[in-house]
């Protein structure tokens, strides 16, 4: 795992429930990011609080990896609130990942995710709960943004394929023309 100095700018911040995902899904992401040279920050070497929030602010992208136990952690929830604030300011792009949990359960705080959320909420302030719910509700916006971006990329791919097909057709026409020219040249030279 790559450890960064305080002057490094992270491209991607990982927001996830460590106990549940650190040695499974997240470890696979970390391995892939390292192989591809993508700068990232995970909280394994961070102290909670200012240091961790500074890493979020330094990042361009945040992966919010929701899982059934995500809502057990006030740190996960507080990080999500910080991420939403930066996203609202257009300083951070958030990509939600739903790991063995439905987006609906996250958005509506239902199912096992909801049970964990409401257990945590019992020991929290009303203002804090409100901020957490707003951050969770906004994940629907993040999903829409992902769909929008995927559609944009798909349109670009389709356009590129059409251009390549047009070039191939033009190339085939030129090849036929050159072949015909060669035939005429041969006939004339004979």
Which residues are known catalytic residues?
Answer: 79
CA pair distance 111, 116, nearest whole angstrom: 9
Cα-Cα end-to-end distance for the chain: 73
Unique residue bearing structure tokens 């004979």: 190
Beta bridge partners of 98: 66
Which pair of structure tokens corresponds to residue 112? 């096992």
- In this structure, what are the phi and psi dihedrals at residue 52, rounded to the nearest 5 degrees? -70, -40
CA angle 152, 153, 156 (to 5 degrees): 90
> Which residue from 142, 77, 63, 67 is spatially nearest to 106, judged by alpha carbons?
67
Q: What is the CA radius of gyration of the chain?
A: 25
CA pair distance 56, 85, nearest whole angstrom: 11
């Amino acid at each position: 795992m790559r450890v960064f100095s305080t002057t490094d700018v992270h491209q991607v911040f990982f927001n996830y429930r460590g106990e549940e995902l650190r040695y499974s899904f997240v470890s696979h992401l970390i391995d892939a990011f390292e192989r591809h040279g993508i700068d990232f920050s995970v909280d394994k070497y961070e102290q909670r609080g200012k240091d961790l929030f500074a890493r979020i602010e330094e990042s361009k992208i945040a992966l919010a990896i929701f899982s059934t136990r995500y809502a057990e952690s006030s740190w996960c929830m507080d990080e999500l609130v910080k991420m939403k604030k930066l996203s609202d300011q257009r300083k951070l792009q958030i990509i939600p990942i739903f790991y063995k949990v439905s987006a609906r359960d996250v958005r509506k705080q239902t199912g096992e995710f909801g049970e964990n959320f409401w257990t945590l909420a019992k020991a929290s302030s009303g203002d804090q709960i409100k901020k957490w719910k707003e951050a969770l509700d906004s994940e629907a916006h993040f999903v829409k943004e992902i769909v929008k971006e995927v559609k944009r990329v798909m349109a670009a791919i389709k356009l590129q394929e059409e251009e390549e097909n047009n070039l191939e057709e033009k190339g085939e026409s030129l090849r036929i023309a050159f072949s015909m020219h060669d035939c005429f040249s041969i006939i004339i030279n004979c």
